[in-house]
Amino acid sequence: MNNQKKRNFKIEAFKQRVVVDPKYADKTWKILEHAIHEIYNHNASGLSFEELYRNAYNMVLHKFGDKLYGELVTTMTSHLKEISKSIEAAQGGLFLEELNRKWNDHNKALQMIRDILMYMDRTYIPSTHKTPVHELGLNLWKDYIIHSSKIQTRFLNTLLELVHKERTGEVINRGLMRNIIKMLMDLGSSVYQEDFEKPFLEVSAEFYKGESQKFIECCDCGEYLKKAERRLNEEMERVTHYLDVKSETKITYVVEKEMIANHMLRLVHMENSGLVNMLLDDRYGDMGRMYNLFRRVPIGLSSIREVMTSHLRETGKQLVTDPERLKDPVEFVQRLLDEKDKYDNIISSAFNNDKTFQNALNSSFEYFINLNPRSPEFISLFVDDKLRKGLKGVSEEDVETILDKVMMLFRYLQEKDVFEKYYKQHLAKRLLSGKTVSDDAERSLIVKLKTECGYQFTSKLEGMFTDMKTSQDTMQDFYAHHPELGDSRTLVVQVLTTGSWPTQPGVTCNLPAEMSALCEKFRSHYLGTHTGRRLSWQTNMGTADIKTVFGKGQKHELNVSTYQMCVLMLFNNADRLNYKEIEQATGIPAPDLKRCLQSLACVKGKNVLRKEPMSKDIGEDDAFFVNDKFSSKFYKVKIGTVVAQKESEPEKQETRQRVEEDRKPQIEAAIVRIMKSRRVLDHNNIITEVTKQLQSRFLANPTEIKKRIESLIERDFLERDNVDRKLYRYLA
Amino acid sequence: MPRASKRKSSAPPNPSPSPVKSSAALPGKTKTAKGSDRVENMFYKYANDGIIDPDGIMTLCEDLKMEHTDIRILMLAWKLKAAKLGYFTQDEWKTGLKTLQVDTLTKLRKAVSELEKEVNTSSNLLEFYSFAFRYHLTEERQKNVDMETSCELLNLILGSEYRSQVDLLINYLKIQSDFKVINLDQWVGFLRFFEEISFPDLENYDDTQAWPTILDNFVEWLKEKRR
């Protein structure tokens, strides 16, 4: 390229003469100083940014950075001192406003100054590690204004006073507060914390300590909680409006501590308005508030839970041991269900469905339900009542709900095997008397029990249902094979498999001739198709419907038990019979016969027989006649007593004894099972393991387990170790 | 030692066939042969139909100058490892006397007198004590000893060592009605009880531990009595 040195027409930048003239620096600075002054005096409009920038730039370039920086500090400092004086002079409420105004001014000024001195900020300052201009401005402000001895205290007090005013209900200038607080935050988080937040928190603590003391003396629990909640919300709102968001947890902590934590126990236990009263009156709102407030403080919820638990246990204990309540088992159980419902509602509405509360509820129920050894019996009676009549007309859904609730109570029982025994008895009576309101409900409950306790628990119960069904088929078959009996189905037989039904002592009585022939026919028919089986008539469990005509022509159909039928049929052939004759003719065992005669002769409205003498008790020499004067509004009269009832004391003892006897083989089976797999085990562990295995049925008594172990040792199933007598060994 | 009743129905165990021995046996074995001869002769002195029966034992006791109820006779039975109450078989006699290293009546008398010392060392005591129980199981497959006999045995064997405990226990056993017989497990339990539990305070007894329930009941009874 033929590019010789062309003489380009250059436009050169206007260069200042590079003179290292000490006066140069001063002169330049003077310009800048003047500018700063003007800026502070709100006269910036007349300044040329470009020129000032250039001046600053040159100073730095010519190595006058030190001077520039130093003079800057001096100038700003003197301006701030001025400002400080004017703030100090402000009176009363204007103090803060003046401060705020001056701060805004300072910020604007600082921005402009920074812009002018940008080059210094970018080059000189990093290399000398000095504070950048903006930060420098803030620091100077902090040092000469905020921390000025004449301002500092007054400043803090003003702020705190305003907060206090607001707390006592006055309206304050929130915008101003916000700005001031923002200023502190801009100055640095430590400034905010030291110069405001810390004292703020201290003063707040004092305030709330006093306030809570005042309230706790004059308010009841519910009111107090409302006030505490209000204050808490207030503080949170204050933070959103004009404080640093990080202060929220700190101030709420203060309120929680002073208003809630310090008075927690007093609140919970407050007479007439504390937690117990809230529980009794179902005050969901108050309890919910208590829950929400207390969950904020340590051990808050556990305090509530403890009081609830002990109250519930006390209430429950009274419920189950109150002799009045124990008179009616159905009422007893209903009351338990109501109590459970109540607390379920409380926990879901007020306690946020908190699982720990649910657990406390469960453990309390488990505790007091088992205080009464008759609970299993009563629950079975309740179910019996429902299945007989209580569930009549109830929708399927509601039936399920009721049964589910009963299952919940069942789960709390420790002696589930006792329940099983009673349930079986009651079920037997229901099935045999045909008195169940809904087959579906019966089956549904069995399924629930099976899910809860396993197959073994319900296999026998299911067997009972099967027997009933099979018996129906058997009857069909019987009548089909005996057409000579015509259409009148006088005999209905239920064939019960011995193992499935509750054991009854095998007694028979002498059936009237009309019956026994028919019974024989059935027996031979049945045994014809089922060889190898044995049938025995359970005359203490049957019922009969007898058509009767009394002396004055009254016609009635009597529903009686088999025993009663045997007695009554005798009067077809005799007008008068004494006790001994009846006993001999029927062969009914004495205690049953006495009860039977009582129900026929001594009960008002059901006295189809007359007795001489007219006493309530049956004597050996009593004489019986048909009561010709018998009358009843109804054609059909029910006299039989086959309804399940609360057991009498001797019956209860007997059942309890049978349950204990049944437990022994179960305990032994558990011991053998465990030892077979473990081979060698020490005493304490056996007890623990056995108890655990049997837990779903009953609570095993350690002494009883020990006795069973000794019995097994004697029968050479186990042996004690020779050296360590605490160890047992399985003998194969 | 309680006198065993004569059981005509149960046949005594078969006596082992008597070995034919001649005095003119191998030289060098003369002493032993003579010794075992003497042992054998002693046996035949008391034996009846090849076995020492209760009558024979009575005679033996007279010769030993001890009552037949003397505990040392029971100890002798233990040393002989006698299987059946009231009888010593020839084998038991021979082996037993060999262990005792006696072959004359005098030596036997001396040895028996010293048995007491031997038994009272703790390791032997348990063995002897258990033996005493098993020795009194007269029927085949019998597991228990009746209460009266058990009490007598307790008194006889442990009475000297644990006087007050034994007295109290026997007292209790006689008045309680839960148990009519004692089994081996309970029997051994009694000795361990006396050995381990501090008396009379019973401080270290823990009824949740593996003590037989009869002892739990005993301790409860004692505590009731104290109140």
Q: Which of A683, A687, A710 comes nearest B213 by C-beta?
A: A710
> What residue of A is the nearest CA neighbor of B213?
A707
Residue pair B135/B86 in contact (Cβ under 8 Å)? The answer is no
How far apart CA A37 and CA A33 sit, in angstroms, is: 6
What is the per-residue DSSP string for B34-96? HHHHHHHHHHHHH-BTTBB-HHHHHHHHHHHT--TT-HHHHHHHHHTT--STT-B-HHHHHHH
pLDDT exceeds 50 at position B10? no
Label residues A378-410 b or e (16+ Cβ within 10 Å = b).
Answer: bbbbbbbbbbbebbeebeeeebbebbebbbebb
Using only C-alpha atoms, chain B has a radius of gyration, in whole angstroms, of 21
- Residue-wise pLDDT for A175-229, tens only, equals 999 999 999 999 998 999 999 999 999 999 999 999 999 999 999 999 999 999 9
User: d(Cα A419, Cα A320) in Å, to the nearest integer?
Assistant: 17
pLDDT at B123 over 90: no
Residue A682: list chain B partners with CB under 8 A. 210
Residue B7 has pLDDT above 60, yes or no: no
Q: Is the pLDDT of residue A12 over 70?
A: no
How far is residue B162's CA from residue B167's CA, in Å, rounded to a whole number? Answer: 8
A710 φ/ψ angles, rounded to the nearest 5 degrees: -60, -40
Predicted confidence band of residue B22 (pLDDT cuts 50, 70, 90): very low
pTM: 0.73
User: Which residues in chain B have Cβ-Cβ distances shorter than 8 Å to A703?
Assistant: 213, 216
Query: What does residue A219 show for φ and ψ, rounded to 5 degrees?
Result: -105, 155
Chain B closest-CA separation from residue A643 CA (Å): 39
Q: Which residue of A684, A714, A726 is in closest CB contact with B183?
A: A714
Closest by Cα among A238, A301, A236 to A268: A301
- Is the pLDDT confidence value at B8 over 70? no
- At residue B38, the pLDDT reads 81
Q: Which long-range contacts (CB under 8 A, 24 or more apart) does A123-131 make?
A: A123/A60, A123/A65, A124/A60, A124/A65, A124/A68, A124/A69, A125/A69, A128/A65, A128/A66, A128/A69, A130/A69
Lowest mean pLDDT among A14-23, A611-620, A650-659: A14-23
Whether A109 has a pLDDT exceeding 50, the answer reads yes
CA distance A441 to A399: 7
* Confidence (pLDDT) at A630: 86
Distance from CA of A722 to the nearest CA of B (A): 10
Q: From residue A183, give the alpha-carbon distance in Å to each of A42, A158, A371.
A: 21, 15, 68
**Closest A-chain CA to B209:** A683
Helix/strand/coil (H/E/C) assignment for every residue in A436-495: CCCHHHHHHHHHHHHHHHCHHHHHHHHHHHHHHHHHHHHHHHHHHHCHHHCCCCCCCCCC
Under an 8 Å CB criterion, which residues of A touch B? 682-684, 687, 702-703, 706-707, 710, 713-714, 720, 725-726, 728
Q: What is the pLDDT of residue B32?
A: 61
pLDDT at position A213 is: 93
Residue B120 pLDDT exceeds 90: no
Confidence of residue A645 (pLDDT cuts 50, 70, 90): low
Chain B residues with CB under 8 Å of A687 CB are 208
Residue B9 is predicted with a pLDDT of: 45
CB < 8 Å to B192, chain A: 725
For residue A7, name the pLDDT band (cuts at 50, 70, 90): low
Residue range A645-658: mean pLDDT, rounded: 81
Backbone dihedral region for residue A42 (phi beyond 0: left; psi -120 to 50: alpha; all else: beta): left
Binary contact (B216, A684; C-beta < 8 A): no
- Read off the pLDDT of residues A238-254 as tens digits, 9 standing for 90 and up: 999 999 999 999 999 99
The residue among A704, A663, A669, A673 whose CA lies nearest residue A687 is A704
> In whole angstroms, what is the distance from residue A407 CA to residue A340 CA?
12
- Cβ distance of B213 and A683 shorter than 8 Å: no
Q: Which three-class secondary structure state does DSSP give residue A560?
A: strand
For residues A471-494, average pLDDT:
84
Q: What is the pLDDT of residue A138?
A: 93
- With both helix axes pointing from N to C terminus, report the angle between A247-255 and A221-242 in degrees, rounded to the nearest 10: 160
Which phi and psi (to 5°) does residue A547 adopt?
-85, 125
With cut-offs at 50, 70 and 90, classify the pLDDT of residue A233: very high
Disruptive mutation site among A671, A686, A720, A722 for chain B (greatest number of B CBs within 10 Å): A720
Element spanning A555, H or E = strand A555-561
pLDDT mean across residues, chain A: 88
CA distance A519 to A517: 5
Q: Write the residue in A687, A707, A710 that is nearest to B185 by C-beta.
A: A710
The C-alpha angle with vertex B149 and arms to B147 and B155, in degrees rounded to 5, equals 105
Cβ of B210 within 8 Å of Cβ of A714? The answer is no
Contacts of B143 in chain A (CB under 8 A): 714
**Amino acid residing at A636:** K
Q: Is the pLDDT of residue A8 over 80?
A: no
Residue B127 CB partners (closer than 8 Å, separation 6+): B78
- Dist. CA A87–CA A81, nearest whole Å: 10
Chain B residue with minimum CA distance to A726: B210
Residue A62 and residue A123 in contact, taking contact as beta carbons nearer than 8 Å: no
Are the C-beta atoms of residues A690 and A700 closer than 8 Å to each other?
yes
**Percent over 90 (pLDDT), chain A:** 50
Cβ(A396)–Cβ(A354) below 8 Å: no
- Assess whether pLDDT exceeds 70 at residue B13: no
pLDDT band, residue A599 (cuts 50/70/90): confident
Closest CA to B89 of B128, B41, B51: B51
Number of cross-chain residue pairs from A and B with Cβ atoms under 8 Å apart? 31
**Is the confidence at residue B14, as pLDDT, over 80?**
no
As a whole number of angstroms, the distance between CA A279 and CA A288 comes to 11
What would the mean pLDDT of A367-379 be, rounded to a whole number?
A: 93
Element (H, E) at A561: strand A555-561
Tokens of A648: 């009498």
E strands in chain B: 144-146, 181-183
- Classify residue A687 as exposed, middle or buried by CB count within 10 Å of its CB (0-12, 13-18, 19+): buried
Integer CA distances (angstroms), B200 to A108, B196, B204, B205, B227, in order: 97, 12, 11, 11, 14
Cβ-defined contact of A702 to B208 (cutoff 8 Å): yes
Residue of chain B minimizing CA distance to A702? B208
Tell me if B208 and A707 make a contact (CB, 8 A cut-off).
no
Within a 13 Å sphere around the CA of A365, how many CA atoms are in the beta-carbon half?
A: 23
Q: What is the 8-class DSSP label of residue A243?
A: S
Helices B71-79, B122-135: axis angle to 10 degrees equals: 90
Residue whose entry in the numeric block shows the structure tokens 């060592």: B161
Tell me, what's the pLDDT at A341?
94
Higher pLDDT: B167 or A93? It is B167
